[in-house]
Amino acid sequence: MTGLKPHFPVLEAEISKAGFKKKDIAKAIGIEPRTLTNKLKGKTEFNLTEVLEIGTMFPDIPPVELFSHKTETSTS
């Protein structure tokens, strides 16, 4: 990776769409809200247990899609 940090736009959108608060997601997976924020920003990584637990909250979306590392690219 060339300095790009992972970002999880699908996960963040699904959290918002479902009406979940990030602090509630953090509590459900046993981490502090700030830690979740760092993970969503790509500063730290999600571990397998966290991925699986979050996956149960969004059963209709494959984890590979929820946790994709999509980055915005400019077309101009």
pLDDT tens across 34-69, in order?
Answer: 999 999 988 999 999 999 999 999 999 999 999 987
Instruction: Determine if the pTM surpasses 0.75.
Output: yes
**Residue 72 DSSP SS3:** coil
Question: What is the C-alpha separation between 21 and 10, in angstroms, rounded?
Answer: 15
Would you place residue 73 in the very low, low, confident or very high pLDDT band (cuts 50, 70, 90)?
very low
The alpha-carbon radius of gyration of the chain (Å, integer) is: 13
pLDDT at 72 over 80: no
d(CA 26, CA 33): 5
